[in-house]
Chain A
Amino acid sequence: MYRSTFFTVLLVLLFTSCKQYTEYVKSDVTYYVDDDKPQDFLGQSADSIFKVYIDVELISRESTSYPLGLQVNGFGAFDVYWDGFLVGSNGKMAKSGRAEIPGTEMTYYQIPENLAKIGKHTVTVIGTQADLRESRRGIKVKLESYLRLHRAPLIVMSFMNLMAGAFLIASIYYFFLYINSTRKEATVLLFGIICLLFFCLLIIEYIKFYIDIPYTNFYNRLQIVGLLTFVISILVPWYFMLQFDFKKKKLLLFLLLISLLTIYIIWYGHYDFTAIYFSYAMCAVSIIIAIDATIRKIKGGLIVVVGLLASVIVNKFIFYDFGLFIAFTIIVLSMLYLHTIRAKALEEAHNASLLLSSRLQLELVKKNIQPHFLRNTLTSLIDWIEESPQQGVVFIRALADEFDIMNSISEDTLIPIQREIELCRKHLDIMSFRKEICYTWEEKNIDPNEEIPPAVIHTIIENGITHSLPPKKGCITFSLSFSREKNHKQYTLLTMAENRNRKKENSNGTGFKYIKARLNESYGSNWHFESFAVEKGWCTTIKIFDKK
C-alpha cells in the first residue's frame, strides 16, 4: 500500500511546485497597455521598415529598488525607445547596402529609473522585418521588474531541466538495459525512446531561454516541438498497448494516427493548439487502453488510469506550457511504474525457473539414492556377493559407473547424447543383475553432436523396465533412433517387450513429469512428447522443434 502513498506524495509535490511558480510570476508592476494597434503595422513597401508606437500606462510599482524592465516580443530587427529614449536594440536593421541581421523573438530592456515614473509612457519600436512578413505576428510589450524578467525563466528552467535530466538518465538506462538484455523486449526500447523524445521536447521547448534564435527560425523550433509531440503521442499509447497486451493494437493505432493527422491538418500553423490537441488524443487513447486493462484486471491498469486522469486534471487547471509537461511527466511516471511491475514479474519468473532447475537437479540426484532403487540394488548386490562374488564385483562396477555418470551430469541442463546413452547402458547392466533379465541396447542414426537434457532417455528406460513383462526367452530390447526433419528433430525409443497390464493410466507419473519439466527448461514450448503402446511393445517419442 505504501506505493500508492508514494504516488500521492509525488503528485502533491508536483502540484505544489507548480503552484509556487504561478504565484511567483505574479507581476509586481501594474500597468495598462494598449495592444490593439500593433497587429498590422508592416507596410507594403519592399524596404520593410516599420515603426510602432505602443502606449503604456504605468499604474503602480511594488518596489523601486529594482530597475523597471521591458519585455518585447516580436519579429524583425529593431531598436526600442522608451519615451523617445533608446533603451536597446534587437538584431541590426537592414540599411542600404547591408542586409538585416535578424533579432530574436523575445528581448528584455532596462528602463532608466528617472524615466520609470508612474503615468503614461510610449514604447516606440523602429525596425525592419525582411522575413516571415506573412505571419503578421505583431508586437507585444510587457512591463516587469528587470530582475524578475530574468529570474522567471530561470525558475521555469530549473524545474524543466530537472525533469529533462531525469528523463535523459532514464532513457540511457533503458537503452543500456535493452542492449544488454537477452530478451530484447520491445517495451524496454520503446520506453527508452519515449524518455529520450521527452527529454528532447523539454530541451527544445525551453532552449529559447539560452540561445538567441533568430526570429527567422522561430517556427522551426515550434515545428520540432510539434513533431516530437506527434511522435510521443503515438508511442505512449503504443507502449501501453504492448504493456497491457491490448487486443486490437493495429486498429487503435490506425485510428490514433488518423486523428493526429486530422488535428495537424485542421490546426495547421497553430503550433500551440496542435501540440495540445495531440496530447488530448494521446491521453484519450491511453485512457481507453488503461481502462480496458483495468477491466481485464491486469496489474497496474488502475494506477495508469489514475495517472492519466491526474494528468488531464493538471492540464485543465494549469497554464498550458507546464501543464502539458507535467501531464507528460505523470504519464511517463505511470509508465515507469508499470515497467517496474513488469520487471518484478520477470524477476519472479526468473526465480521460479531457477527454483525449478534446482528442483530438477535434485530430482536427478535423487534417482540413484531413492530407496526403491538403492535398497533393491543393495539387496540384489548382497545376494550376488554371497552367491557369486565375481559377478558381484562386476555388478558393483556397473553401479559405480552409473553413479559416476549421474554425478558428472547432475548440474547440467543439456548433455551430449552419447553421455546419456552411456548412462542408459550402465542402468541396463545394473537392472539385468537385479532382474536377471537380459536387456539389450540398440541405436540408429545417432548424431554424436546432438545434446539432450540429462536422464530423459534414462527415465523412459526405467519406465520400460518397470512396465515390461519378463520375456519367456530372449531379451528385452531398447532401440533408440534419431531423425531430423525439416523443422524438428526426433528421438524415438522403442521398448520391444510384452507390456504389463497397467491398472492406472499414469501417463502423468513422476517420471513423465520430470521429462516434461526438463524439456520445458531447455526448449521452452518447442517440444512434443508422446508415449504409447505399439504392437512390438512401447514407443516413446520426443520431438524438438527448431526455434521459431
Chain B
Amino acid sequence: MKILIIEDEARIAKRIERMTRDFFDRDAQILLCDSVENGLNTIEKQSIDLLLLDLNLNGENGFDVLQTIVARSFQTIIISAYTDRAITAFQYGVLDFVPKPFDANRLTQAFIRFTTPEKNSGQEIQFLAVKKARNIKLIAINDIRYIKGAGIYTELHLSSGRIELHDKSMESLEKLLPSTFERIHKSYILRWEEVDKLVVEAGGKYNMLLKNSELLPVGRSKYKEIKQKLI
C-alpha cells in the first residue's frame, strides 16, 4: 500500500508519517512531499492508495488541488488547520477531515475508516468529481441513479441517461456515498429513491425493477437485507 503525505511543515509531516507507520505497520510505503507541485508529480508517476493532504501549502490554496485529486481512484484524508472548510471538503468527496492539532487517536480513526468497508456516516458528500479530458467535472450526487462496476472503473448512470466513468472502485465509492445509496450487487450501487419493486425470476434470480422500468440484478447475499429494507 502506498500512502502519500503532502505537508509543508517538516515537524508535522514527520508526525503524520510516524503515526501512519504505527498504524499500517509494514504494509505501507510512505511518500513525503512538501509542496503541491511535488505532490502532484508524485501522484502522476506512482499509483497511490491513500493521500493525506494539508489544505494550505506554502500559501497556496489546497482546494484547487483537491478538486483535481478527488476524481482519482485513491482515497483522500484532509489534515488541515482550516476546520471551517471541513464541510466543503466532504462535499467534494474526501474520506475524512482531521483537524489540526490532532493526536494519534484521531488519525487512527481516519485510518480505520479507510481500512474497513463501513459506510461514511459523517458528512454528506454532494458531488463526485469526474475526469473529463483535462478538466474536472463535478457531478451532483442527486443526479446519479445507480453505479455499475466496470473493471477498475465505475460507471455513473445519471438521471439524464448519460454515463460517466469514475476512477474510484465500487468499494471506495461505497464508503463515500450517503446512506441513500445501497449496494445491491457486487457490481451495483443503487440510489434507493429509484427503487420500484423486487422481482423474483425463475431459477431463483432476483432483480430490482427501477421506476424507469430498468432491471438491475440483486446479489444473492444481499437479497434478504434488501427485502427487509423494502418492507
Contacts and interface: CB of A to CB of B under 8 A. Distances in A.
Given A371-B81, A380-B12, A383-B12, A503 B100 contact: no
B11 interface: yes
Interface string A424-455: 00000000011111000000000000000000
A433 B60 contact: no
Given A378-B101, A383-B14, A436-B10, A371 B58 contact: no
Contacts of B167: none
A379 B102 contact: yes
Interface string A389-414: 00000000000000000000000000
B82 A372 contact: yes
A382 B103 contact: yes
Q: Which of B34, B60, B82, B100 is the most central at the interface, judged by chain A CB atoms within 10 Å of its CB? A: B100
A506 B100 CA distance: 26
B35 interface: yes
Contacts of B102: 379
B100 A383 contact: no
B81 A375 contact: yes
A470 B34 contact: yes
B33 to A, nearest CB: 12
How many chain B residues sit at the interface, stated as a range, is 20 to 34
Contacts of B172: none
B81 A503 contact: no
Contact of A435 (B9, B37, B56): B9
B15 interface: yes
Nearest to A501: B37
B11 A500 contact: no
Contacts of B88: none
Given A372-B81, A375-B81, A382-B101, A435 B10 contact: yes
A433 B58 CA distance: 16
A437 B58 CA distance: 14
Given A382-B101, A501-B37, A509-B59, A376 B15 contact: no
A371 B82 contact: yes
B78 to A, nearest CB: 13
Interface in B10-58: 10-12, 14-15, 34-35, 37, 56, 58
Contact of A375 (B37, B59, B60, B100): B100
B34 to A, nearest CB: 7
A434 B9 contact: yes
A372 B81 CA distance: 5
B100 A379 contact: yes
A239 interface: no
A437 B37 contact: no
A500 B100 contact: no
B100 A378 contact: yes
A384 B81 contact: no
Contacts of A378: 100-101
B58 A379 contact: no
A434 B54 CA distance: 15
A61 interface: no
A154 interface: no
Given A434-B10, A501-B37, 13 more contacts: A372-B81, A375-B81, A376-B81, A378-B100, A378-B101, A379-B11, A379-B12, A380-B15, A383-B12, A383-B14, A433-B11, A436-B14, A500-B58
For the complex of A and B, 6 pairs with smallest distance between CB atoms:
A375-B81, A379-B101, A436-B10, A375-B100, A378-B101, A380-B11
22 contacts: A372-B56, A375-B101, A376-B9, A379-B11, A379-B12, A379-B15, A379-B81, A379-B101, A382-B103, A383-B15, A384-B11, A435-B9, A435-B10, A436-B11, A436-B14, A437-B10, A466-B58, A466-B59, A467-B59, A500-B58, A503-B60, A506-B59
